[in-house]
Amino acid sequence: MSWTATDRYRLRTAPSGLALVQDFLNTKAIKTYGLDLLSDADLARPWAAEALAEWSRARDSEAPEISLGPGDLRALRDLRASFVSLVDGDETDLGKPVRADLALRDGAVRLFPSGTGRQWLASALWTETLLAQQAGIWSRLKLCRLDGCRSAFYDVSRNNSGVWHDVRTCGNVANLRAARERKKALSPATPVPTESGSPRR
């Protein structure tokens, strides 16, 4: 399967429908590596079409075709900010009430998104969040700790201790910054020259 927003940053994909939430978070721009896919309808529409097609395959369920206009994009960017807060463990507001449907399939009760347009997408995102929490995998969806990255990655470490989407890139950058800060803090202050030219201690 291919998740456009996540794949462009070469990230491991979260399992099942949680990948939709990850991909939604990864629509954000990261430095020069990719544009904000929710900044323009011409970028958002193909992303949404591909993401919902992948969700359909992952969940073996039909997803509607949705059209997105400027007002929808603003609302989705706000929703993305709410998900960033949620993944970070901060307080967040659900906004308007979100609906979902229960259905009986193959002898099991299943939860399905409902609504139309961006409301359906919001319902799908919150539904997958709930299902991931119930399955005990929600805590493995994280945002890279490096400020210049913050890409959404799925932590597969044994003890769920990952903080960088890639230790060799973002991890090294963060460690180098920390080392420079420590070195700077330990270095003696530069003497201030006096009028006679002798340094003042």
Q: Which is higher by pLDDT, 21 or 179?
A: 21
CB 117 within 8 A of CB 72: yes
Say if residue 104's pLDDT is above 80: no
Return the beta strands (E) in the chain as ranges.
100-105, 108-113, 141-143, 152-154, 192-193, 199-200
Task: Return the pLDDT at 39.
Answer: 96
Task: Give CA–CA dist 167/118, Å, rounded.
Answer: 35
Q: What is the mean pLDDT of residues 6-15?
A: 93
Q: What are the beta bridge partners of residue 105?
A: 108
Task: Write down the pTM of the prediction.
Answer: 0.82
Task: Average the pLDDT over each of 43-52, 106-115, 155-164, 189-198 and give the range with the smallest value.
Answer: 189-198
Task: Tell which residue, 59, 187, 72, 85, has the closest CA to residue 119.
Answer: 72
26-30, 32-36, 103-107, 155-159: range with lowest mean pLDDT: 103-107
CB 137 within 8 A of CB 118: no
Q: Does domain 4-186 have CATH number 1.10.3300?
A: yes
Residues above pLDDT 70, as percent of the chain: 81
